[in-house]
Amino acid sequence: MSAGRLRFVVGRLAQVLPVLAALLLIVVLLQQMMPGDPARVIAGPRATAEQVVQVRHELGLDRPVFEQFGRHVWNLLQGDLGTSNRTGIPITAIVGDRIGVTVWLLFGGLLVSTLLATPAALLMALRPRSRSARMCSRALTIIINCPPFWVGLMLASVLALGTGWLPVGGFGVDFGDRVRSMILPSLTIGLAAMPLLARSAAASLSQVLTADHVTTARSLGVSGWPLVRRHLLRNALPPAITLLAIQAAALLFGAVIVEQTFGLPGLGAEMITAASQRDFPVVQALTLIFGLAIIAINLLADLAVALLDPRTTWR
């Protein structure tokens, strides 16, 4: 690894620390900023003012913010996400139950969007003036303007209700049911993420196609698959990867909505339930997990780009 790349990797890893600290701070402060009093929620509607004060003291909510922050971080380091206000179940158990659904949903969405975006990008990059490329571009504009919850409902009413092949919602018990119940949600998320991916991949491909260094490679007799693999893809991938990572946040947000739309027991649906019930520890923990996921995805994307592009250096 060259010095510049090494510097990039070290610098980029170091950059994660302040971002992590900021994320933790925001997650803890979230509690201060949210409307409603968690102590009041736990104590119940009929509790006296004294009881509420008592509960607040037990939870440590009357402590200074810094102390709460320190305690929170300390607990996290020990793998303790806290317990639900409502049910008293440890949040690690809730997350463990539900994270699988969300992860599979995201993978499904990524798979769908890649499968749809790749041919669209190739078409728009290689035959930009063709009729089909223009139609493809128009279709992308329409798709990108459709909100995911609406797309989900449409898919459910047309594909599920219309044919009866696929479940409208819920998460089956056996494996086959579960796979079938993931199809429409994955399609919904994939469709939401696909237009931007297709457009950015098409843009970076068409830029590389006419790049001088590709002409040079062709002048040396490189053609066909070696040209695509050695010279086109390697130069066109980094911008697409970066954009995909930036989209990760939107994809996660899409998952929250889609889980709710299709009644899937994932982290997103749990987040909505917890928020509506003022179950603050759960909201906090899930916000933290989503934040960590986005940090990790962006870190991985940047490292992948550094691996592909030798010019990467720390600025």
Partner 1 sequence: MTSHPLLEVDGLRVAIRRQDTAPTVLDGVSFAVGASQCLGIVGESGCGKSLTLRAVMGLLPPGIERTGGRIRLSLQPGAAPSDVQADQVAGRGLAMVFQDSHASLDPTMRVGTFIAETVRRRGGTSRSDARRRAVELLASVGVPDPKLRFNAYPHELSGGMRQRVAIALALATDPRVLLCDEPTTALDVTLQAQILRLLDTARAERGLGMVFVSHDIAVIRQIADVVAVMYAGQIIEIGPVSDVLDRPRHPYARALIDAVPSLDGPVGPFRSVPGSPPAPIDYGSACRFLDRCGHRDTACEGVVNGIDGRGAGHRSACVHSGTLASGLEAT
| Residues in touch with partner 1 (CB under 8 A) | 2, 210-222, 230-231, 234-235, 308-311
Q: Which helix (H) or strand (E) holds 260?
A: helix 248-262
Instruction: Decide whether 118 or 207 has the Cβ nearer to partner 1.
Output: 207
Instruction: Decide whether 53 or 209 has the Cβ nearer to partner 1.
Output: 209
Min separation Cβ 288 and partner 1, Å = 37
Min separation Cβ 185 and partner 1, Å = 37
Q: Residue 246 has which token pair?
A: 């930036």
Residue 258, CA atoms < 13 Å, CB-side half-sphere: 34
Give me the amino acid identity at 283. V
Crossing angle, helix 3-33 and helix 280-308, to 10 degrees?
170
Q: Residue 177 has which token pair?
A: 């049911």
Instruction: Decide whether 138 or 230 has the Cβ nearer to partner 1.
Output: 230
Distance CA 186, CA 108 (A): 5
Min separation Cβ 209 and partner 1, Å = 8
Min separation Cβ 205 and partner 1, Å = 13
Tokens 């909100």, residue located: 147
Min separation Cβ 219 and partner 1, Å = 4
Instruction: Decide whether 51 or 137 has the Cβ nearer to partner 1.
Output: 137
Instruction: Decide whether 37 or 309 has the Cβ nearer to partner 1.
Output: 309
Instruction: Decide whether 49 or 220 has the Cβ nearer to partner 1.
Output: 220
In 106-203, beta strands by DSSP E: none
Check: CB of residue 18 under 8 Å from CB of residue 25. no
Residue partners of 64: CB distance under 8 A and separation at least 6: none
Check: CB of residue 56 under 8 Å from CB of residue 39. yes
Check: CB of residue 11 under 8 Å from CB of residue 314. yes
Min separation Cβ 160 and partner 1, Å = 44
